[in-house]
Amino acid sequence: MAYAAPLPISAERPLSIPVREIAPWALFAFTLAAVVVYFVGFEQGTLAIFSSDYMHEFVHDARHLAGLPCH
């Protein structure tokens, strides 16, 4: 049986990623996480963006899964 030769491991320096490439994605991820936390944790009627209870009922189980009170 023939085996493939292992790839040589180079001792070069690690690949660096410029902050300019990470910053927009980090900002997007932070904004998305903040929106999710708001809707799951705080969209309950007092600070409601939507006037009905639709959003509260939509994220109701996620709120209990996260351990947040809602009743």
Chain segment 14-47, per-residue pLDDT in tens: 778 788 889 999 999 999 999 888 877 777 656 6
Name the DSSP class of 3: -
Q: Look at residue 56 in the predicted model and tell me its pLDDT.
A: 73
The pTM is what? 0.59
Q: Look at residue 19 in the predicted model and tell me its pLDDT.
A: 83
Compute the mean pLDDT over every residue in the chain, rounded to the nearest whole number. 79
Q: Look at residue 15 in the predicted model and tell me its pLDDT.
A: 77
Distance of CA 11 to the CA centre of its chain: 34
CB 48 within 8 A of CB 38: no
Q: Look at residue 69 in the predicted model and tell me its pLDDT.
A: 78
